[in-house]
A = this chain, B = another copy of it.
Amino acid sequence: MAQIPDNFLGLPEIHSTYDRARYAILPIPYDSTVSFQTGTRYGPRAIITASQQVELFDQEYEREFIKSGVATLPPVAPNMAGPASMHEDIFESARQVVRDGKFMIGLGGEHSISSGLVRAVQGKHKKLSVLQIDAHADLRDSYEDTPFSHASAMRRVMDLHVPVIGVGIRNYSAEEHKFMRARKISPISARDTREDIDWMQTAVDRLTENVYVSIDIDGFDPAYAPGTGTPEPGGLEWYQVCDLLKAVAMERRIVAADVVEVIPLPGNAQTEFLAAKLIYKLIAHVESNASSPRK
């Protein structure tokens, strides 16, 4: 009686048991501070379902990358007391995963989940920076009465003294602009990736030794990832992001990641499929560069 196991990549027990797995998928179906279109709570489930169609054989490296094991954790339950409480719950869940020595991959849910995850990773990995792939700067001090909004996701990370290097950014407020000026932050905009031939190296150079990769799916152009809350035109392409992840994996050490803001569309699995395949590519790049020399 053949069956596809209902976990990330549809892996058999031998490759998906938590104890033996190097990678741990942590679903966080939380979307309570979202301001416009809702539904990222359905993202983790959709990404996991789509991942079961991702081919395990990687065409680029000409091999499979599941021997290290990829475990899928049960979802973190929403804490409805508010985003500050939820931040703590996420932090606690993530801390355990990091302590267990796993390469943690958070699945959102909205982008506000990232700060709890980064805080947990920072506890283990020093010299940490965040590679943020995103349409928005997410650097507001607070938004709609809370400092833990999706619109403040990276501001909360910076509060932890973790540098953030944004790529694909094409939407921020006057307040955020002023903040970036003051902090001398200049993200690599989506237009930069088309007009500045060195954008990829620039991004890599700014990263520290250990890198947390935070992928807001709206960093991609809506043509490639229409299933998201605020689909900003003029975004990144598939190969740009793949190649950037590869470059980072080769020159730095990626230690954790998240993929957030996926909203499944009725009948169109394009966005969650892209998210699932991107995560597998990330694993492939990390695995392939595990023993390479770094910065």
Interface residues of chain A, those whose CB is within 8 Å of chain B, are 1-6, 31-33, 35-39, 41, 45, 49, 52-53, 55-57, 59, 62-64, 74-85, 89, 92-93, 96, 143-146, 149, 170-174, 176-177, 189, 191, 194, 221-224, 226-227, 230-234, 238-239, 242, 263, 265-270, 273-274, 277-278
Contacts and interface: CB of A to CB of B under 8 A. Distances in A.
| Interface majority SS (helix, strand, loop, mixed), chain A | loop
Given A6-B6, A226-B270, A92 B172 contact: no
Contacts of A171: 55, 59
B234 A80 contact: no
A268 B226 contact: yes
Copies in the complex: 6
A144 B239 contact: no
A238 B231 contact: no
Contact of A232 (B57, B74, B191, B277): B277
B53 A191 contact: no
Given A82-B84, A226-B226, A234-B242, 7 more contacts: A1-B96, A3-B77, A5-B74, A33-B80, A57-B172, A226-B270, A233-B277
Contacts of A38: 31, 38-39, 41
